[in-house]
C-alpha cells in the first residue's frame, strides 16, 4: 500500500506552507513597528555619538587652522652686546608677542641652536649697515620660517632696515614642503588604531580573559613591527622622501604604531565599542591638527598648542622630523610620549581585562546561538 499515515500527510501539507521566518518575508508590522525593529536604542546612541564625533572633527580642524597666528616663536639674535640687547627688547615688545627672542654669541652658536631645536630662526644684525640676515630651517615646517620672515621684515622696516632670509636646512628634494614626516606619522597612527579596532569588531571589543588580551597585544606588536618597516620603506627607498635613516624610522614607526594600537585596545576593554570612537577623537580629531604638520605649535591657538606634544600623532611627527633633519636632537621627549602610550595602554588593557573577567568577560559554555542572542540583548561586545 502506498497510502501514507494521516500524521505524515498532515506534516507534509504543513511543510509546504510558506514560513516567513525561513523565507525572510516577515509580515509588515506598520511604520512604528518596523522602526523599532530597525533601530535599537543602542544603535541610535552610537549614531548620535558618530554625529558628535563628526562635528568635533570640523570644530577641531577649523578651530586650529582658520586663523594661524605666531606666538612666542623662539628666535636668537646675534649682534654686539649693546645692539643685541636693544634688538631683543624691541622684538619682545611687538604686539601679541609673536617672538621669544634671546641672544647668541655668534653665527655658529646661532646655527647650533637651530640644529638642536632650541630656536626656529636666528637674526644676524649688521651693526655697520642696514642689511640684516635671517637664518631659518624650513625642514621643520614651512609655515614658521614664512611667519618669522614677515615679522622681521616689518620690524626692520620700522627701523629703516632690510633683511635677507637664508634657509640653512631645507627639506630634502623628495620631501616637498617638509610634510612627509607628518604624513608618515599619520599613516602609522591610523594603521595602529585601525588594526586594533578591526580585531575588536571581529572578535569582541573585550577579550574573554587576560590571556586573550595578551595574545591580541602580541599580534598587534608583530603588526607594529611590520607596519613600521613598511612605512620606512615607502618613505625612504621607495619614494626617496626621507632618505638615510631607515633603521631609525623603522624603530620609530614600530613604537608609534604599537602606542596607538595598545591605547586603542585599552579603551576598548574599558568602554567596549565606544572606545574606538574615543580613540578617533584623541588621535584624529585632536591629534592631527595639533601635531605640528601643516602649522607648528607656535602658530596654533592655545588649546591645540598645549596638547600637541602629548598625543602620539604630534610625538611621532616630531620624532621623525628631528631624526631626519636635526641629527636626532630633542628626540627624548617625543619618544617618552610614545613609550608612555605603549606601556600604559598595555598595562590598562591587561588590568582591565582581569577586572572584567569575573563579570562581563566570562567565557560561557552555552551554545553559540544562545550566547549570540544574549550578547545582542545585553549590547556587550565580548570575545568568546
**Cα 200 from Cα 205, distance rounded (Å):** 4
Give 307's contacts (C-beta < 8 A, 6+ positions apart).
286, 290, 314
Sheet with 131-136, edge to edge strand ranges: 99-103, 73-78, 121-124, 131-136, 162-167
DSSP 311-366: SHHHHHHHHHHHHHHSTTTT-HHHHHHHHHHHHHHHHHHHHHHHHHTTTTT----S
Q: What pLDDT was estimated at residue 258?
A: 98
Q: Residue 103 phi/psi, 5° resolution? A: -100, 155
The pTM (predicted TM-score) of the whole model is 0.82
Q: Residue 286 phi/psi, 5° resolution? A: -95, -35
Query: Which residues, listed in sequence order, are joined to residue 163 by a DSSP beta bridge?
Result: 132
Residue 102, helix vs strand vs coil: strand
The CA-based angle 205-209-210, given to 5 degrees, is 100
**Is residue 65 a contact partner of residue 37, using CB atoms and an 8 Å limit?**
no
Q: What pLDDT was estimated at residue 361?
A: 39
Taken in order of first residue, the domains within the chain and their CATH numbers are 73-170 (3.40.50), 175-378 (no CATH)
Write the pLDDT tens digit of every residue in 23-38.
555 666 666 666 666 6
The CA-based angle 119-120-121, given to 5 degrees, is 95
Comparing CA positions, the residue from 208, 307, 301, 189 lying closest to residue 255 is 189
Helices within the chain (DSSP H only):
6-15, 20-23, 30-38, 41-65, 81-92, 107-115, 143-158, 180-203, 210-233, 246-271, 274-280, 302-307, 312-325, 332-356, 368-378
**Is residue 200 a contact partner of residue 268, using CB atoms and an 8 Å limit?**
yes
Q: What pLDDT was estimated at residue 46?
A: 78
Chain position carrying cell 624610522: 249
**Cα 184 from Cα 320, distance rounded (Å):** 8
Q: What pLDDT was estimated at residue 373?
A: 40
Comparing CA positions, the residue from 48, 60, 46, 62 lying closest to residue 285 is 60
Please state, as a whole number, how many other Cβ atoms lie within 10 Å of the Cβ of residue 41.
Answer: 9
Chain position carrying cell 586603542: 264
**Cα 74 from Cα 122, distance rounded (Å):** 9
For the chain, 384 residues long, the average pLDDT of each consecutive 10-residue run is 48 50 58 67 80 90 90 96 93 95 96 96 94 95 93 94 95 90 96 94 82 94 97 95 95 98 95 91 95 91 95 97 95 97 96 74 38 40 46
DSSP 228-281: HHHHHHIIIIIT-SSTT-HHHHHHHHHHHHHHHHHHHHHHHHHHTTHHHHHHHI
Amino acid at each position: 500500500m502506498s497510502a501514507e499515515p494521516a500524521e505524515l500527510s498532515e506534516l507534509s501539507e504543513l511543510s509546504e506552507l510558506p514560513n516567513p521566518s525561513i523565507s525572510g518575508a516577515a509580515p509588515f508590522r506598520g511604520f512604528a513597528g518596523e522602526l523599532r525593529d530597525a533601530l535599537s536604542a543602542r544603535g541610535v546612541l552610537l549614531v548620535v555619538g558618530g554625529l558628535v564625533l563628526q562635528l568635533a572633527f570640523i570644530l577641531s580642524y577649523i578651530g586650529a587652522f582658520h586663523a594661524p597666528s605666531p606666538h612666542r616663536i623662539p628666535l636668537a639674535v646675534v649682534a654686539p652686546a649693546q645692539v643685541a640687547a636693544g634688538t631683543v627688547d624691541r622684538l619682545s615688545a611687538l604686539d601679541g608677542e609673536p617672538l621669544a627672542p634671546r641672544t647668541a654669541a655668534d653665527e655658529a652658536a646661532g646655527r647650533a641652536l637651530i640644529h638642536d631645536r632650541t630656536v626656529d630662526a636666528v637674526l644676524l644684525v649688521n651693526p655697520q649697515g642696514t642689511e640684516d640676515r635671517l637664518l631659518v630651517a624650513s625642514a621643520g615646517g614651512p609655515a614658521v620660517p614664512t611667519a618669522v620672515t614677515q615679522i622681521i621684515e616689518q620690524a626692520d622696516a620700522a627701523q629703516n632696515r632690510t633683511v635677507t632670509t637664508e634657509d640653512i636646512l631645507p627639506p630634502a628634494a623628495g620631501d616637498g614642503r617638509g610634510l612627509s614626516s607628518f604624513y608618515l606619522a599619520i599613516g602609522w597612527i591610523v594603521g595602529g588604531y585601525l588594526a586594533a579596532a578591526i580585531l575588536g569588531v571581529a572578535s569582541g571589543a573585550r577579550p574573554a580573559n587576560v590571556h586573550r588580551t595578551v595574545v591580541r597585544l602580541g599580534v598587534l606588536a608583530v603588526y607594529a613591527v611590520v607596519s613600521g618597516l613598511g612605512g620606512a620603506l615607502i618613505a625612504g627607498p621607495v619614494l626617496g622622501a626621507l632618505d638615510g635613516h631607515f633603521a631609525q624610522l623603522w624603530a620609530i614607526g614600530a613604537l608609534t604604531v604599537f602606542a596607538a594600537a595598545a591605547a586603542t585596545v585599552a579603551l576598548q576593554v574599558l568602554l567596549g565599542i565606544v572606545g574606538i570612537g574615543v580613540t578617533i577623537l584623541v588621535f584624529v580629531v585632536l591629534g592631527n591638527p595639533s601635531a605640528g604638520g601643516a602649522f607648528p605649535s607656535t602658530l596654533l591657538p592655545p588649546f591645540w598648542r598645549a596638547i600637541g606634544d602629548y598625543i602620539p600623532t604630534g610625538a611621532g611627527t616630531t620624532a621623525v622630523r628631528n631624526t631626519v633633519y636635526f641629527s636626532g636632537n630633542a628626540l627624548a621627549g617625543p619618544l617618552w610620549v610614545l613609550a608612555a602610550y605603549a606601556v600604559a595602554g598595555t598595562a590598562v588593557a591587561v588590568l582591565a581585562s582581569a577586572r572584567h573577567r569575573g563579570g562581563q568577560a566570562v567565557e560561557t559554555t552555552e551554545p553559540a546561538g544562545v550566547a549570540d542572542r544574549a550578547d545582542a540583548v545585553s549590547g556587550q561586545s565580548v570575545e568568546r
